[in-house]
Structures are given as C-alpha cells and as structure tokens.
C-alpha cells in the first residue's frame, strides 16, 4: 500500500495531476465519471465521480437505504499544496543568455526548502475548443528537472544562517538555462521558453496555447526513509496522503453494501483559504449531496434530514512533536510520528472537532484496532485551520478534524510515518463499511 502511495504522490505533481491520478484510480475500480452539466442517472450501489475544474474530485457510492434516514458518510481532503505558480509572460532575460522565470507564491510554503533542488513544471494549458466558451484543456507534466532556484553564496551574505528574510519576487526566481542569441530570438518569436517546453511535451505548437496554469514542483521522487524504513518523504504529503488514504478506503470497501452513501471529497485551494468554486467554502459539496438526495426521489425535507444524519471526517495532516523544538508543542497533547491518526482540537473552533465528533472517531479507531492521538496547539501558538470549519459554513454536519502527524509541513519535502498511513486507512475503511 505504501508503495502505491509513493507512486501516486509522484504522479500527482500539482492539484490538476492529483485530481487526474485520483480519477484514474477510481476508473480502474469501476467508478464512472459524471459531469455537473449533464443529467445523471444514478442507482443504489452505483459508483461515480465528478471532477470539478480539473482540480477537485468528488467520488461516491450511492447507498442502498433511504437517503433521509441513512445520510452520507464523507471523507474530505485537499488536492493542492504550497508551490510557485508561473506568471504569464514569465521569461526574464539576464546576462550570458540566462533565462529565469517570474513566479508567484501559491500558499504558505517554507521558501528556504525550495533552493538548489531540481524542479519540474506541471499544470494545465488551454487551447481552442469547440467555441470561445469551451476551450480545450491539456494536462501536462514535464517529469524532468528543467529549473532550479540557486541560492546566493554564503560569501555574499555571511549572516545567512542567522535569519534571512526572502523576497519571492527577487530571491525565488527559478533559472531554466542559458541560451544563444539565436535560440533566445526563436523562443521570443514562439511565445517564450515556457510555452515552447510545454507545447513540445503535449505535441502542439506554442502559438496554440491560449492560457496556462503551471507550477514548479520538486522533482525528487517520494521515498521511504529512516533506519527501519519507518518514515516516508515527499513533497505534497499535506494533504495528498489523506486524499489517497480516503481513496484507498473507498475503493477497498466498494464491494461492501451500505445503506448510507459514501463520499470522498477532495477539494482544491485549501492552502489559499478555500474561496473558489472548487474549494470547500463553495456550495459544490452541498449541491452534490442535495442532487444525490433528489435523484433518489427526496425533496428539500429529505435532504435536510439526510444532512442531519451525516458525518464527515475532515482529513488534513497535523504537526508531529519535533525532537528539536519540544517547546513548540502542547505539554500533554502532542502527537508523534508512528503513534496513529490524530484528532485535532481547538477551543476557538478552528477545527470542527467537538466531543461528539471526537467520540465517533475514537470509537472507529478502537473498532479498527488502531491507536489514536490528540493534537491541541500550545496555548501561546495560533496554529492553522483546515477544511472542516470552512465546510460547516455551507453544511451544518457533524464531524471531526483529523490527520496524521507529519514533520516540516509546507516544506518542499515533508516527512510522515508509514504505520500511521496504514492505520488511517484501516479507520477510514471501518467508517466506509
């Protein structure tokens, strides 16, 4: 299972590729795609999925029971991770034919971790479609190191190890190479090196690219680490480890006949506040649940009853106790890597967890034979937020915020525990069976 996760992490180099990888796995497990704009025909036991904006996925297995009384069981996660997005007109020309790229930070990454690493480019590009309102989408992943962000030598900044603020605009521009005058002229004529590289990969002409959303991603593959192989390391563990745990559970329990409808909701744009049409603050999940209730003959009242009978596990990774920074952790509630899935609690309701939600999750852990831990912020630390509390502004559902304990959240390379991943899948399978 862990090897499948590592492979899927490598294939999911950005939000779009993550949605694509999830969709591919769902199709292999007999799920059929539905489009929001079409009429749907869904039957009890039916396995389907919807991709929204190429970057969010909502998969479901229709329950055999009465939607109003059996409700939904939902696992939610997010497809996006902090990275650098390539701006339009990206090329910046320097001495000796050097070309670097103008980029914008996406989300709150640890900038230092991005220096001096091999970087590649992935995302989606648009070409002309059937008419102006329907451009054609191409997913693209160069899958080879084409760029890197060289750090300034220590000789030019002796204080670099004593705290060194960074400017994204100045310090984080990736270099893509140096080229002859003829090459540079050719690139400029064809729309710039980014479009040339991407067009070559897709097999189109650069002039055909109308627009793009491309990001840089760390090109090193995910790997097992630690003397006993206890850890795994990769970019984008937050939150693809949870998205793939949810997928593993949904696919693994797909043959189980359940009265409730099971839903895996992988939203985009959590790292920027979820405020997009494919994000958790949008009505996308609520409308899907209402639609599924209506397709089973239920009206508004049945939908509201279904919502009252629904439980959601909002799965997003947590911070592990760090051996170098004991003072950052709460004295009695600090999860460790290898200690099992983590229930996240916040007195000011940044997490949706309450005693009821925690009790449900802890009981599921017990039934699955899995240990469970708590994460609560050190009382002088503000901490982050996640999907659960944002979703409850759209859906008044019961639930829990949980995740696995990881190190270096939002680094270009995060670390998590192999046994935690396996344990979380066991709990998710219990929830989906």
Q: Which of 80, 91, 239, 302 binds Zn ion (CB under 5 A)?
A: 239
Does residue 401 interact with Zn ion by CB under 5 A? no
The smaller minimum CB distance to Zn ion, of residues 195 and 236, is found at 236
Q: Which is nearer to Zn ion, 238 or 414 (CB)?
A: 238
User: Least distance (Å) from Zn ion to the CB of residue 238?
Assistant: 4
Taking CB atoms, the residue at the shortest distance from Zn ion is 239
Strand order in the sheet with 83-93: 136-141, 119-127, 211-218, 83-93, 98-106, 175-178
Q: How far is CA 415 from CA 8, 60, 105, 403, in A?
A: 16, 30, 22, 13
**Residue 334 CB, nearest approach to Zn ion (Å):** 18
Of the two residues 91 and 401, which places its CB atom closer to Zn ion in the complex?
401
> Which residue in 50, 75, 80 sits closest to 397, CA to CA?
75
Least Å from the CB of residue 393 to Zn ion:
18
CA 250 – CA 248 distance, rounded (Å): 6
Give 238 or 290: the residue with its C-beta nearer to Zn ion: 238
Query: Does 414 help bind Zn ion (rule: CB under 5 A)?
Result: no
Q: How far is the CB of 214 from Zn ion (least distance, A)?
A: 22
Does position 25 interact with Zn ion (CB under 5 A)? The reply is no
**Cβ 356 to Zn ion shortest distance, Å:** 23
Based on the shown chain and the rule CB under 5 A, indicate whether residue 290 belongs to the binding site for Zn ion. no
80 binds Zn ion (CB under 5 A): no
Residue from 125, 57, 128 nearest 86 by CA: 125
Residue 64 or 410 having the CB closest to Zn ion: 410
Q: Collapsing DSSP states into helix, strand and coil, what is residue 150? A: coil
Shortest distance, CB of residue 355 to Zn ion, whole angstroms? 24
Using the minimum distance from each CB to Zn ion, give the nearer residue, 280 or 364: 280
Cβ neighbours of 115 (radius 10 Å): 15
DSSP state of 407: B
Q: Of these, 10, 141, 213, 238, which contacts Zn ion (CB under 5 A)? A: 238
140 upstream amide cis, omega within 30 of 0? no
CB of 242 to Zn ion, least distance (A): 8
- The stretch near Zn ion (CB under 5 A) out of 36-44, 129-137, 141-149, 231-239 is 231-239
**416 neighbors 406 (Cβ within 8 angstroms):** yes
Structure tokens at 324: 């170098």
Instruction: Return the residues of window 96-135 that contact Zn ion according to CB under 5 A.
Output: none
Residues 6+ apart with CB under 8 A from 342: 318, 335, 372, 373, 374, 375, 402, 403, 404, 405
* Closer residue to Zn ion, CB minimum distance, 262 or 319: 319
* Nearest approach, Cβ of residue 106 and Zn ion (Å): 13
Please tell me the count of residues contacting Zn ion according to CB under 5 A: 3
The β-bridge partners of 178 are: 98
Q: Which is nearer to Zn ion, 70 or 316 (CB)?
A: 316
Candidate ranges 142-150, 167-175, 220-228, 310-318; the one touching Zn ion (CB under 5 A): 310-318
Please, what is the Cα angle at 91 between 88 and 96, to 5 degrees? 180
The verdict on 316 binding Zn ion (CB under 5 A) reads yes
27 CB-near residues (< 8 Å, 6+ apart): 33
Say if residues 399 and 222 touch (Cβ distance below 8 Å): no
The minimum distance between CB 265 and Zn ion, in angstroms, equals 14
Contacting positions for Zn ion (CB under 5 A): 238-239, 316
């Amino acid at each position: 299972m862990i090897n499948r996760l590592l492979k899927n992490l490598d294939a999911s180099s950005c939000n779009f590729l993550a949605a694509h990888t999830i969709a591919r796995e769902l199709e292999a497990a007999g799920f059929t795609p539905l489009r929001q704009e079409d009429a749907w025909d869904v039957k009890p036991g039916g396995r389907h999925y919807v991709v929204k904006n190429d970057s969010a996925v909502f998969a479901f297995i229709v329950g055999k029971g009465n939607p109003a009384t059996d409700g939904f069981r939902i696992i939610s996660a997010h497809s996006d991770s902090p990275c650098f997005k390539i701006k339009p007109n990206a090329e910046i020309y320097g001495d000796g034919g050097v070309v670097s790229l103008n980029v914008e930070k996406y989300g709150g990454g640890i900038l230092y971790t991005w220096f001096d690493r091999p970087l590649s480019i992935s995302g989606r590009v648009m070409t002309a479609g059937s008419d102006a309102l329907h451009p054609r989408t191409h997913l693209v992943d160069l899958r080879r190191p084409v760029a890197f962000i060289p750090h300034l030598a220590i000789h030019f900044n002796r204080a670099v190890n004593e705290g060194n603020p960074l400017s994204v605009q100045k310090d984080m521009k990736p270099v893509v190479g140096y080229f002859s005058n003829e090459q540079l002229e050719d690139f400029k004529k064809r729309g710039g090196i980014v479009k040339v590289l991407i067009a070559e990969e897709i097999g189109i002409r650069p002039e055909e690219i109308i627009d793009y959303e491309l990001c840089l991603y760390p090109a090193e593959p995910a790997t097992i680490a630690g003397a006993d192989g206890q850890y795994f390391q990769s970019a984008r563990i937050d939150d693809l480890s949870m998205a793939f745990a949810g997928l593993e559970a949904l696919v693994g329990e797909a043959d189980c006949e359940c009265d409730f409808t099971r839903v895996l909701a992988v939203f985009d744009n959590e790292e920027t506040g979820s405020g997009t049409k494919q994000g958790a603050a949008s009505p996308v999940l609520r409308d899907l649940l209402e639609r599924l209730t209506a397709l089973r003959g239920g009206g508004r009242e049945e939908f509201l009853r279904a919502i009252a009978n629904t439980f959601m596990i909002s799965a997003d990774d947590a911070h592990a106790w760090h051996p170098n920074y004991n003072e950052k952790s709460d004295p009695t509630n600090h999860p460790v890597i290898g200690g099992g899935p983590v229930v996240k609690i916040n007195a000011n309701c940044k997490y949706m967890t309450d005693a009821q939600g925690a009790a449900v999750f802890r009981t599921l852990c017990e039934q699955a034979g899995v240990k469970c831990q708590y994460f609560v912020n050190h009382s002088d630390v503000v901490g982050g937020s996640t999907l659960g509390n944002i979703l409850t502004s759209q859906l008044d559902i019961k639930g829990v915020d949980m995740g696995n304990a990881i190190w270096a959240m939002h680094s270009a390379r995060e670390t998590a525990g192999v046994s935690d991943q396996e344990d979380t899948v066991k709990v998710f399978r219990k929830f989906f069976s």
